[in-house]
A = this chain, B = another copy of it.
Amino acid sequence: MQKIVIGVMGPGVGSREADKQNAFELGKLIAAQGWVLLSGGRGEGVMDAVNKGAKSAGGLTVGVIPTGDNASTSEAVDISIITSMGSARNNINILSSAVVIACGMGSGTASEIALAIKAKKSVILLNDSQTSKDFFKEIGGNLIHIVQTPAEAIKVCHAILGS
């Protein structure tokens, strides 16, 4: 039977410290629910931290890799899906996730939130940019959920999944 996959999207290089801490905690909590973690899979910033968090709690981690090999894949990724299609893989990230959590902000993350809205996926925003919240609420309406902590994000996931 299919496992529940939760996607966590966030910046690689240049991630803020607070976002990386949130990402680690998110990974841990996702694993604790028995969910599979899906991310962009790179060994940097939020992407790396969320995978390490999930592994710290014995979770299963899937990375959807933009490049053609694993040279920059997080060492905490269990299953590496090699796409070699750059940022076009962002659409796979969100389509494969039952719920999308955006942790932090950047151009790649913004594209994933927008693609999720386009695909009518629920998105949970965990970041400090009020501007981003205003914008995604404007284009995403009820699909957008704004939270302050990783624990709150997990609670919203359960509500969305009806679990």
CB distance from A111 to the nearest CB of B (A): 4
- The stretch among A26-34, A131-139, A149-157 that forms the contact with chain B is A131-139
Inter-chain contact A138/B129, CB cutoff 8 Å: yes
Number of copies of this kind of chain in the complex: 4
Contact A86 B110 (CB under 8 A): no
Contacting pair A85 B82 (CB below 8 A)? no
Question: Residues of A with Cβ closer than 8 Å to B?
Answer: 1-3, 5, 36, 62, 64, 68, 70, 73, 75, 77-92, 95-96, 105-108, 110-111, 114-115, 117-119, 129, 131-132, 134-135, 138-140
A135 CA / B91 CA spacing, docked (Å)? 21
> When the two chains form the complex, which single residue of B79, B83, B114 contacts A62, counting CB atoms closer than 8 Å?
B79
> Across the two chains, which residue of chain B brings its CB closest to A70?
B2
- Residues in B whose Cβ lies below 8 Å from that of A96: 80-82
Q: Find out whether the CB atom of A114 lies under 8 angstroms from the CB atom of B107.
A: yes
A132 nearest CB neighbor, chain B only:
B135
User: In the complex the two chains form, is A86's CB within 8 Å of B107's CB?
Assistant: no
B residues near A95, Cβ cutoff 8 Å: 68, 82-84
Closest 6 CB pairs of A and B: A111-B114, A135-B135, A85-B85, A110-B114, A82-B95, A107-B117
